[in-house]
Amino acid sequence: MAHDPLAGCRVVGFDLETTGLQMKTHRIIQFAIVGSDHDGSPIHFESLVNPQRSIPSDSFRVHGISGADVKHQQLFGHHIEQLNELFTDSVVVGHNVKAFDWPFMANEYLRCGKIMPQPRAIIDTLQVARKLKLPKPHGLGPLCERYKVKLENAHDAAADAAASLLLLWKMMDENPKPFRRPLEDLQTWLAGSSSDSSGSLGPGYDDLEPFDSDGKIRIDGENLIIAFGRHRGSTLNQLSTNDAGYINWLLSPNGPFQEEDRNSIRSHLDETRGLPD
């Protein structure tokens, strides 16, 4: 992809196994966090958890974790400090993570009287598959088969976490256009909001080619369009008239662009006579 919205982020796949599907009465028995840190170093943290309740036979048949396996394990609260460290300011990736894994974990935090960590973003590969209108079924197994992602031990938390992370990369690589946007806008798009569609500008941002290396500026004919921040959706030529100070900041060393991008933007504005004096 020309633009990777996850570049420079800690990105982790996340998955849970539980005693059942009812968040108020069932408990976590296994979690896994698999991915890479800001510097590219690997992250792998997984553990069984003592749920302090029995594991129904139907659930055992799914994940193969028995009461004997977790009887002598630590309680969930024992892991909270390390979970906080790994999740805070991270991009968390999982399959159905927004509807199941993340709220399920929130209930465990609530039982411990603790506040949930704040990730930088949560990307749900089930949401991605639906947003891309991929052929059904959208289960993790069928999607992994479609994208040739190995999932040899399904319903093991570490295997599912790693598979969901690799699945996201595969989907991004096959469908690059929607991901040519800042991470904040990517979350808005996945949530189904149309606020990133520019209305009078015609195509949505994902249909416009990036002008800079990070996708913060899009090009539509001769117009350069801001795709981030408080002036999102405005052209730079409009801002040169309405907010020249903002343009000057964009083109300064303290602005959000690399020197090469600043020079390209300045040249384009010079050509269209949009650069403020």
According to the model, what pLDDT value does residue 207 have?
Answer: 59
Whether 157 and 46 share a structural domain? yes
Whether 119 and 31 share a structural domain? yes
Query: pLDDT tens digits for 7-30?
Result: 999 999 999 999 998 888 999 999
Domain boundary among 179, 209, 243: 179
According to the model, what pLDDT value does residue 195 have?
Answer: 39
Alpha-carbon dihedral sign for residues 139, 93, 218, 229:
positive
| Domain presence at residue 188 | no
Per DSSP, helices labelled H in 6-101 are: 57-63, 67-70, 80-87
Query: pLDDT tens digits for 213-264?
Result: 777 888 877 788 887 776 777 788 877 777 778 888 888 887 788 888 888 8
| Domain presence at residue 277 | no
| Domain presence at residue 6 | no
Whether 175 and 201 share a structural domain? no
Query: pLDDT tens digits for 35-62?
Result: 999 999 999 999 999 999 999 998 999 9
Whether 102 and 214 share a structural domain? no
Count the neighbouring beta carbons within 10 Å of the beta carbon of residue 38. Answer: 11
CA geometry: angle at 212 spanning 208 and 213, to 5°? 110
Distance CA 5, CA 27 (A): 34
Supply the range of the domain harboring residue 263.
197-271
According to the model, what pLDDT value does residue 81 have?
Answer: 97
According to the model, what pLDDT value does residue 28 have?
Answer: 98
Whether 98 and 137 share a structural domain? yes
Whether 172 and 247 share a structural domain? no
Q: What is the pTM of this model?
A: 0.71
Number of folded domains in the chain?
Answer: 2
CA geometry: angle at 153 spanning 152 and 154, to 5°? 105
According to the model, what pLDDT value does residue 269 have?
Answer: 81
In whole numbers, what is the pLDDT of the chain averaged over residues?
Answer: 87
Query: pLDDT tens digits for 133-167?
Result: 999 999 999 999 999 999 887 789 999 999 999 99
